[in-house]
Amino acid sequence: MSTAATISREILKPHLKIKGGCPLKGEIKISGAKNSALVLMTAALLTEEIVKLNNVPSLTDIHGMEEILSAMGVNTSNSPNGLNLQAKLLSNSEPPYQLVNGLRASFFCIGPLLGRLGRAKIPLPGGCRIGARPVAEHIKGLKALGAVVSVEHGVVSASVLGSKKRLKGAAIILDCPSVGATETILMAAVLAEGITTIENAAQEPEVQDLAKMLNKMGACISGAGGPIITIKGVQRLHGCDYTVIPDRIEAGTYLIAAAITRSKIHISPAIPEHLNAVLQKLRDCGCVIATEMDGITINPGELTGVDITTQPFPGFPTDLQAPFMALLATTKGTSVVTEKIYENRMQHVAELQRMGASIRLQGNTAVIEGVPQLSAAPVSGGDLRSAAAMVLASLAANGTSKVEGLNHLDRGYSNLELKLNSVGSQITRRQ
């Protein structure tokens, strides 16, 4: 290939052009939570009636889940602020491989399908390559509920024996507080016979959101948000009208955008309690944080480094580790960031170094020496959150950066450049 053709091909690759050094000011509206909406969509499989979801973000992952549900016989339609889903004609318990391969959340279909139809056949999940993220805990929980489960050639097959095709309640203790396993077991257990308890359950807001919607559909769930969840099985669920919680990761990303540009902004709607660990680290850095019932204002001062270790909720979220590291690359002093959730979530380090960040990587621990100024560079995000980190670093860099990896970015951020431009950034999307 000629040099001209190579250059032309690079120019055509989708990317963001970001002019660094622009101060931000104003308010950013936060979309509905992606990680909640995806699971709530699969919960619609549990009833024949219409489930109306409000505050659903417009993301490639959401559109992908729509396609998967449609392929299984679910009637999907858009409403002004969300989706209407009706699984009255649900018949297909095997979503197509080509649709589920790239969307990890597709695996959440297994719980509702088992609960409703007594059978399911789901390929092992794909998504961002940030670690193994095994589904062993999901499978263990489904087996405890009476499902027969096998894994062959990358496909999980599960069925319920007996004429009733109905799971049975059980006492389940998770080895680790897996969000996915907790949500899968929750959805499988709501239609099971008897009582199910999940010990060492995940406490994330998204788990609480799922339990709240299931209860609105007629389920009997208590304890969500704590380490022990109790589910009393019911005969059937009905439809509901439900509003997805604000996206705490998106909210955290824009708060960090304000901090890295040393700008004062307000975000809403947001639930401060969902971001306590992040807000505390921003305060420790030197930011002044003001919280209201449904919003947060951040006003950065002179920022210094802090140490961070990712943990399950209510600890510091792994999904904001990369964006926060971009911020720490610009603060005074030394910071240490330790990743405890995923074994391959430091892909952004090399790209930040390309922009002049001083980072030493030792396994899953990064030691960051803050520098006075990052420099614009062509960079790429290898997963969703590292792509967000590249955007944030570019906002603070000297010059104009080119950020690739939009296929990742668009999975988790709705209208990112429009929202940032509305408060003063200068970002242009090139397709």
Q: Which helix (H) or strand (E) holds 369?
A: strand 365-369
Catalytic sites, residue numbers? 128
How far apart CA 191 and CA 51 sit, in angstroms, is: 17
Q: Which residues contact 221 (CB under 8 A, 6 or more apart)?
A: 186, 190, 211, 214, 215, 229, 230, 231, 232
CB 211 within 8 A of CB 238: no
Burial class (CB in 10 A: 0-12, 13-18, 19+), 33: buried
Burial annotation 338-367 (CB, 10 A radius, 16+ → b, else e): bbbbbeebbbbbebbbbbbbebeeeebebe
User: Strand locations in 71-154, DSSP E?
Assistant: 75-79, 82-86, 119-123, 147-152
CB 323 within 8 A of CB 280: no
What DSSP string describes 188-257?
HHTTSBSEEEEET----HHHHHHHHHHHHTT-EEE-BTBSEEEEE--S----EEEEPPB-HHHHHHHHHH
Cα-flanking dihedrals φ and ψ of residue 415, to 5°? 55, 45
CB 205 within 8 A of CB 313: yes
Helix (H, G, I), strand (E, B) or coil at 375: strand
CB 416 within 8 A of CB 403: no
How far apart CA 17 and CA 404 sit, in angstroms, is: 9
Residue with tokens 């892909």: 347
